[in-house]
Amino acid sequence: MKKLYTIAFVLFIAAAFSFTTKKQVNQNIITATYKGIDDNEYYKFIDESKNEILFYDFDEDLEYNLFEEEYIDIKFSVTWITKELELTDDEGELTGEKIKIKSITALKVIK
């Protein structure tokens, strides 16, 4: 009887895991030149086609600090993801409105 319960438990766990969904994180990579922080405090990059790419934030563990002016006009390989951010009102309360932002996860200098 104990063996029957064990088998039933294992099957239950296997079924439970088969219904869980994994959120896939798509990482994107571009090559672009860093142009500094814009008026809205976004990190501004320009790619080879002269397209402007704005990033909302970056991973704290990055080797390069984009607040430093020494990185302006340096070409990087930028790895980034899209995240969803919930907006707040003037008092800091969540509004329920969500936006998608670009977040830098890795930087590598291109020479």
Q: Convert the pLDDT of each residue in 30-86 to its tens digit.
A: 999 999 999 999 999 999 999 999 999 999 889 999 999 999 999 999 999 999 989
Coil/strand/helix, residue 69:
helix
Q: Can you give the pLDDT at residue 92?
A: 86
pTM for this prediction: 0.71
| The pLDDT of residue 111 | 86
User: 76, 34 in Cβ contact below 8 A?
Assistant: yes
Taking the C-alpha atoms of residue 84 and residue 107, their distance in angstroms, rounded to an integer, is 21
Structure tokens at 107: 């930087």
The encoded tokens of residue 49 equal 């086609």
| CATH of the domain spanning 24-109 | 2.40.50
- Residue 100 has what pLDDT? 94
Q: Is the pLDDT of residue 19 over 90?
A: no
Listed by start position, the domains of the chain span 24-109
Rounded Cα–Cα distance for residues 75 and 82 (Å): 21
